Structure 1
Amino acid sequence: MPPPAPHRSLPVLPRREIEALIADGHAIIILDSYVLKADAWRPFHPGGDKAILHMVGRDATDEVNALHSPEARQRMNSYKIGRVEGRWVNFVPPIQGGKFRPRDVEVVDEGVEAESASSQDPSPVFDPVDPSSELRQRKGGYSRSSSISSVALDEDSRMSHIDVWTREEIKLDKSMYPPLEPEVQDDIVRKYRELGQRIKDAGLYQCNYTDYLIECTRYTLLLASCLYFLNIGWYKTSAAFLGMFWHQLVFSAHDAGHMGITHSFTLDTIIGIVIADYLGGLSLGWWKHNHNVHHIVTNSPDHDPDIQHMPFFAVSHRFLLSLRSTYYDKIMTYDAVARVTLRAQHYLYYPVLLFGRFNLYRLSWVYLLGGQAPKRGPAWWHRWFEITGHVFFWTWFGYGILYRSLPDNSTRLTYLLISHMVTMPVHAQITLSHFAMSTADLGPSESFVQKMLRTTMDIECPPWLDFFHGGLQFQAVHHLFPRIPRHNLRRTQALVQEFCKEVGIPYALYGFVEGNGRVIGRLGDVARQAKILAECKRVSVEKGEVPL
């Protein structure tokens, strides 16, 4: 759907010119039919430059509007260099494998587009859509494992087993979701933007601070209970309350990271860093750097860091190919360790999540000390504020509690493990909304809104349990409108369900137990695929067809 016509004073840039600019290494983004050159902003973007790189050559209007405040949108005007006319057809960004012709390359046929190398990933594990319902069918005979195992693996075919699985799952995805034709996707985008305006008019972006007063009361009670039981020598009980304190804090840090509390970039950043770094020992800057990319390339095995957990977990059979992560800029090797762990990953899922917080410490330190944090621009001070927060955290927790308040090393180790393992539910909640969902790449013609709903599920729970899930149970809604305060997400969900019914996009909604079962099922499917490939290789070796 063509957006509103831009101001006519800027020159119209032909598609071939934009392609040449990208080929020269420029970060060119289309926003409301304006052409933005974001080169100067890349080093200073508080969310990291990879979020920008994944939008190069694309119409980023919906992604930018979802993740940025009106003030940030206004600042983007200084990067306009031209405009485009008509409907923009997305390129595949260079970071995702798109190839672009330089200006000095002669173009014989103007109708031939730049070569785009786009990996095509696997797809969903859910039941077929019930045409009479806006929700995915939650009962029935379909299962992903039975579908995949029924694929005929022709030994004479040039396709590998993984190619066959991938193509079958992409075919399934396309059968479940609206067509990718421009007129269909444009209609979805138009109605999504109308929905956004209705949500804004309904006041759902406005934060009710009474809700946060209740949250702060809960945090205070949990921390006070931790200190009380620590004082009387009930160390295990104290550790459990500290873990619950951290578990609850994560939700407000998430809100602040999305500017969902005050809607001020600076104020919410301060709130988020105080919560995440000073009280939790985790880097808010790292989280935003990671999370912004996750919101743009959700569930892409090659690009989304939130599903890149090799060698412990693989939610797609494509990880068995030793993919290269564009986020971590390294190969996620399917090595000897992975060959063992992935075959049992559906059994190891919960035990590994018990230690998830320790990995977050590591990632935070790498971010703050490894040069990833912005050194200049409006976010230059974040790194130093965060480093100070980590010193503060390890002073009160590491020195004050673990070293000074506990009698011996055995008790210290027990306290450390209990307090950190109690936070496991939040790690399960974070993975729950995506691990069982589609990891397919349907190409650059798919709209932002359809991709978000195709790769994310919501979890059903009664309102009185909302505090436990902390808004993370509304991930599908959150991915469409990430700046809405979490206490308004339940009301927003009803509007999103109506929208999905209208445009024919299945809305994934499962109970907590069923959702966990879906995740374990997905992990089990990939584990079985790993075993199939290992068995095929063993047979081939025995026949002398491949070397050891």
Structure 2
Amino acid sequence: MGRGGKLDQQPTVYTFDEVSRHDKKGDRWIVIQDNVYDITDWSNRHPGGSKVIGHYAGQDATDAFEAFHNDLESVKRYLKPLHMGTVKDAKDKSIKEDFRKLRLTAVQMGLFKANFWYFALYFLHVVVFEILAYLTLYYFGSGWIPFVISLLFYGTFQAQSAFLSHDFGHLAVFHNTSMDRFFEYYLLAFNKGASPHWWNHMHFQHHAKPNVIGKDPDVRLDKFLVVGQVMPVEVAQSKNSYLPFNLQDKYFPLFGPTLLFPIYFHYTCYKHVLTRKLWVDLAVMIIYNIKFLFLFVPMLGWGWTLVYYEAFRVIDSMWFAWVTQSNHIPMNIDHDDNKPWLKLQLFATCDHEQSLFNDWFTGRLNFQIEHHLFPTMPQHNLYKVRPLVQALCKKHGIPFQIKSLQRAFGDILRSLKDSGELWSAAYHAHHLS
């Protein structure tokens, strides 16, 4: 039957220690619901990409598997030919069982069912901001006041398009790949000129192993920043210390959020699309740029249109970076130590306080913990599961952090300062001793 095909034989029983040794690119096993699968060859055909499933090689991927897939029974059909046997001596059994009971409770409460009226109104409000941006210039001219007002409208349109596309990207609205992907392409590619494939490739890795060095692309920052307590020391002891990281809390506000979208995301997005020959993504991205130029060049001319373009990218970039990084950068950042799903997500994320403004301003990412635990749960239901998650965390002694926006933004700079000081001490100790 081929590699991993043991369906006609008595299932082999493995220990977790045996499974953990199969964690290399050319030798990958994973555990799902106490069954062992050899995904070495199949991982390259994984619809979500080889990296996101490869990050769980040699580990129990049950909760990640259930978090990312809506139709579990359909997906399991792909696993049957890969079956190797079963596993015994499960680790962290109590916490895993409790979390799975919590997930079942959330399913029974209907928390994975989307309110289509909510998303219709959210979609309408995104469209309204784009129309207001255009009409402000059309009716009031291109003076600096209407220019700035239009820019704020358009920046809001961009940020809210991203927050809404986030739910569709996780298949949290229709729970249907075709339908959700259609709206993700509209919001992310047609509205923002970005590649949904690129975003999903990066973002699903982040969700699979948040704040894990070498696995989460969002913490591959050592060329520009050192974060957490482990990375600063490792970078200081390597030959890759090019920047004065002890000053990173000073230069981050000026260059980090400001340049994330206009430079880094543009470069990585187009590189991803071109190297992988994703012609559909590229076509829709080009259509967005044509649409933008068609609408704004007649009113602003080429020069000011380019200024407008870069300015709204900066607004969008700053909005996105401060919101998303406030949930992650101040948290634990370390190498993979195979934490169970609940601990993995709680150590890497925190929440913001709930309010009408916070819900809107963050696209409900003020419920980052709940979103990371249940990425396919529609954003409007995340607040309902928070008390259940808090109770489970209390039972297992896991910290559950809720911060004000002000404190959360301040913690970014405080954590960068602490990490920079760690780098400085390690650098001087290693290179000047």
Asked if the contact 2:19/2:30 (under 8 Å) is kept, the reply is no
1:356-367 paired onto structure 2 within 5 Å: 356-358=260-262, 359-367=264-272
Q: How has the CA–CA distance of structure 1 residues 413 and 395 changed in structure 2, closer, same or farther, with 3 Å as cutoff? A: closer
Whether 2:300 is the aligned partner of 1:388: answer no
Q: Residue type of the partner of 2:82?
A: K
Q: How has the CA–CA distance of structure 1 residues 20 and 412 changed in structure 2, closer, same or farther, with 3 Å as cutoff? A: closer
Q: Residue type of the partner of 1:297?
A: K
Q: Structure 1 stretch 294-303 or stretch 16-25: which is displaced more? A: 16-25
Q: Measure, in 2, the Cα distance between the counterparts of 1:203 and 1:505.
A: 26
Q: Measure, in 2, the Cα distance between the counterparts of 1:478 and 1:453.
A: 11
> For residue 75 of structure 2, what is the aligned residue in structure 1?
73
SS in 2 for 1:242: helix
Q: Structure 1 stretch 203-212 or stretch 41-50: which is displaced more? A: 41-50
Q: Measure, in 2, the Cα distance between the counterparts of 1:85 and 1:531.
A: 45
Q: Measure, in 2, the Cα distance between the counterparts of 1:70 and 1:510.
A: 34
Whether 2:248 is the aligned partner of 1:355: answer no
Bigger radius of gyration among the two = 1
Q: Measure, in 1, the Cα distance between the counterparts of 2:309 and 2:14.
A: 60
Q: How has the CA–CA distance of structure 1 residues 484 and 287 changed in structure 2, closer, same or farther, with 3 Å as cutoff? A: same
Q: How has the CA–CA distance of structure 1 residues 77 and 527 changed in structure 2, closer, same or farther, with 3 Å as cutoff? A: closer
> For residue 368 of structure 1, what is the aligned residue in structure 2?
273
Q: Measure, in 2, the Cα distance between the counterparts of 1:14 and 1:507.
A: 35
| 1:521 Cα deviation after fit | 0.7
> For residue 343 of structure 2, what is the aligned residue in structure 1?
450
> For residue 407 of structure 1, what is the aligned residue in structure 2?
301
Q: How has the CA–CA distance of structure 1 residues 533 and 222 changed in structure 2, closer, same or farther, with 3 Å as cutoff? A: same
Q: 1:426 aligns with which of 311, 314, 320?
A: 320
Q: Structure 1 stretch 258-267 or stretch 231-240: which is displaced more? A: 231-240
Asked if the contact 1:236/1:415 (under 8 Å) is kept, the reply is no
Q: Measure, in 2, the Cα distance between the counterparts of 1:464 and 1:203.
A: 26
Q: How has the CA–CA distance of structure 1 residues 20 and 447 changed in structure 2, closer, same or farther, with 3 Å as cutoff? A: closer
Q: Structure 1 stretch 475-484 or stretch 63-72: which is displaced more? A: 63-72
The superposition leaves residues 347-399 of structure 1 with CA deviations (integer Å, 9 ceiling, x where unpaired) of 2222220222122222211111122x7xxxxxxxxx332111111111112x3
> For residue 280 of structure 1, what is the aligned residue in structure 2?
192
In structure 2, list runs of 5 or more residues that go unmatched. Answer: 1-6
Q: How has the CA–CA distance of structure 1 residues 356 and 19 changed in structure 2, closer, same or farther, with 3 Å as cutoff? A: closer
Q: Measure, in 2, the Cα distance between the counterparts of 1:438 and 1:21.
A: 26
> For residue 11 of structure 1, what is the aligned residue in structure 2?
11
1:192-207 paired onto structure 2 within 5 Å: 192-207=99-114
SS in 2 for 1:354: helix
Q: Measure, in 1, the Cα distance between the counterparts of 2:55 and 2:84.
A: 20
Alignment RMSD: 2.5
Asked if the contact 1:206/1:485 (under 8 Å) is kept, the reply is yes
The superposition leaves residues 400-447 of structure 1 with CA deviations (integer Å, 9 ceiling, x where unpaired) of 2454432252x2343123211221112211111110001134723x31
| 1:300 Cα deviation after fit | 1.6
| 1:59 Cα deviation after fit | 1.5
Whether 2:246 is the aligned partner of 1:334: answer no
| 1:80 Cα deviation after fit | 3.3
Whether 2:131 is the aligned partner of 1:224: answer yes
Normalising to structure 1: TM-score of the pair?
Answer: 0.71
Whether 2:62 is the aligned partner of 1:61: answer yes
Q: Measure, in 2, the Cα distance between the counterparts of 1:85 and 1:427.
A: 41
> For residue 48 of structure 2, what is the aligned residue in structure 1?
47
SS in 2 for 1:27: strand
| 1:209 Cα deviation after fit | 0.8
Q: Measure, in 2, the Cα distance between the counterparts of 1:526 and 1:278.
A: 39
Q: 1:292 aligns with which of 189, 198, 204?
A: 204
Q: Measure, in 1, the Cα distance between the counterparts of 2:77 and 2:285.
A: 32
1:417-496 paired onto structure 2 within 5 Å: 417-423=310-316, 424-441=318-335, 443-444=337-338, 446-496=339-389
Q: Measure, in 2, the Cα distance between the counterparts of 1:292 and 1:385.
A: 20
| 1:22 Cα deviation after fit | 6.1
Normalising to structure 2: TM-score of the pair?
Answer: 0.88
The superposition leaves residues 236-282 of structure 1 with CA deviations (integer Å, 9 ceiling, x where unpaired) of 32222111100001111111111101011222112112211111111
Q: Residue type of the partner of 1:28?
A: W
Q: Measure, in 2, the Cα distance between the counterparts of 1:68 and 1:190.
A: 19
Whether 2:17 is the aligned partner of 1:34: answer no
Q: Residue type of the partner of 2:111?
A: L
Q: How has the CA–CA distance of structure 1 residues 75 and 350 changed in structure 2, closer, same or farther, with 3 Å as cutoff? A: farther
In structure 1, list runs of 5 or more residues that go unmatched. Answer: 1-6, 89-181, 324-331, 374-382, 541-548
> For residue 87 of structure 1, what is the aligned residue in structure 2?
89
Q: Measure, in 1, the Cα distance between the counterparts of 2:98 and 2:20.
A: 30
| 1:283 Cα deviation after fit | 1.3
Whether 2:220 is the aligned partner of 1:308: answer yes
The superposition leaves residues 302-356 of structure 1 with CA deviations (integer Å, 9 ceiling, x where unpaired) of 3211122233322135434666xxxxxxxx97342x2x3x222212222220222
Q: How has the CA–CA distance of structure 1 residues 21 and 450 changed in structure 2, closer, same or farther, with 3 Å as cutoff? A: closer
Q: Measure, in 2, the Cα distance between the counterparts of 1:408 and 1:526.
A: 43
Asked if the contact 1:301/1:318 (under 8 Å) is kept, the reply is no
Larger % of helix: which? 2
Asked if the contact 1:297/1:304 (under 8 Å) is kept, the reply is yes
Q: Measure, in 1, the Cα distance between the counterparts of 2:124 and 2:374.
A: 27
Tell me the number of residue pairs that the alignment of Structure 1 and Structure 2 aligns. 415
Q: How has the CA–CA distance of structure 1 residues 289 and 36 changed in structure 2, closer, same or farther, with 3 Å as cutoff? A: same
Q: How has the CA–CA distance of structure 1 residues 59 and 10 changed in structure 2, closer, same or farther, with 3 Å as cutoff? A: farther
